[in-house]
Amino acid sequence: MGADYDRSDAFRGARFTGADFTGADFRDCDLRQVKITDSWLSDVRVSGLVGTFVVNDVDVTAYVEGELDRRHPERVRLRQMRTADDYRAMWDTLEPLWAETVDRAGRLPGPVLRQRVDEEWSFIETLRHLVYATDKWAGHAVLDKPAPYHPLGLPQPDYPPADATALGINIDADPSLTEMLEVRRDRLALVRGLVEGLTDTSLERECLRVPGPGFEEYPEETLSVGRCLRVVMKEECEHRRYAVRDLTALEAELAYAGAPGRRAAATDAVGKLIQIMLDYGPGTQTWYRKLLDIRDVLASDASDEAALRDAGEMFATFYHGGRNFSDFYIPDEDYEAQAMKNREL
């Protein structure tokens, strides 16, 4: 297991040459002005607050934002909010989206809603955080409640537990979906009441934001009602996007639960890869023959566990040697079509 660098500034301005970061995990890090050149980036996933992002001299920032807007058009409405009516329309959009997402989550077994995907928050934890965000930006900032925080809320991961306790929050709480939905209904109603009473003038009212425990070094500041409610709605937008992403992964995992299901999923994936090799013949013969061998193993009389183990070991060899499967991609004259096909691959 690799070393763990938590809250370190030891690498600020550092230079890495010939270093091996395979499998490294950068989480909640400041990567501004990072430059990566002449490096091998394969199976790399990036998420976060993205400013200018240039890949091989191509600025892909607008493409990424445009694709996110296409998938989640509520993001566009959020950015365009100006008037009180805009804020009401935005909340009218968010409420049914979340109702649909909660309904979808409710069809999954209870324990699955506590399950994290790729170390991100579980569905229950996501609901807990949204309660906290509403308490912080609506209850505390806008309404100036002296004790706005619900015990089941959940601050950001780096929030000191002792400071959360000082706010009346129980970080270690383990509520059920039913319990969280009851709290969420109350918080949704609170925001609904705020936006229903908004006027263009009241949007500009200044609220005094006093830093909570753990952030005493930050100065007090005044923020408009509109700014505070925009934060609440952005939290609702972005965390719903994450929740939908992770629910999709959890549903797929359930669909192929158990060794028989995994064997069927592997057989299906190998079949699709074989077809891709046939469609893009030149240079794919080596992969094609190996995939046929893997298909035969999965179709053999071996037990599910043995077939999956042997097929996995065979597939692992695709990534050994100089030219390996990481170098393969599907070409297309249409850039967007090429990107879509390779995402699927």
Q: What is the DSSP string of 19-63?
A: ---TT----S---TT----S----S----S---S-EETTEE-HHH
Of 26, 4, 22, 158, nearest to 34 by C-alpha is 26
Residue 139 confidence (pLDDT): 95
Mean of pLDDT values over 30-41 = 88
Token pair 């409640």 is at which residue?
145
How far is residue 320 from each of residues 47, 91, 275, 282, 324, measured CA to CA in Å? 28, 51, 22, 21, 6
Token pair listed for 236: 């609702």
| The residue to which tokens 């030219």 are assigned | 323
Number of CB atoms found within 10 A of residue 325's CB: 17
Instruction: Evaluate if residue 78 carries a pLDDT over 80.
Output: yes
Q: What mean pLDDT value characterizes the chain? A: 88
Helix (H, G, I), strand (E, B) or coil at 299: coil
Which segment, 2-6, 150-154, 321-325, is predicted with the most confidence on average?
A: 150-154
The pLDDT value given to residue 258: 66
Confidence check: pLDDT of 113 > 80: yes
Q: Which of 1-10, 59-68, 142-151, 170-179 has the lowest mean pLDDT?
A: 1-10
Q: Name the pTM for this structure.
A: 0.71
| pLDDT tens per residue across span 238-292 | 999 999 999 998 888 776 666 667 788 888 889 988 888 888 766 678 888 889 9
Say yes or no to pLDDT of 52 above 80: yes
Structure tokens at 296: 């035969």
Q: Say what the pLDDT of residue 150 is.
A: 97
> In degrees, to the nearest 5, what angle opens at C-alpha 99 toward C-alphas 140 and 85?
60
What pLDDT was estimated at residue 293? Answer: 94
The pLDDT tens digits of the residues spanning 187-227 come to: 999 999 999 999 999 999 999 876 666 565 566 789 999 99
What is the pLDDT averaged over residues 87-99? 97
* pLDDT tens digits for range 296-313: 999 999 998 899 889 988
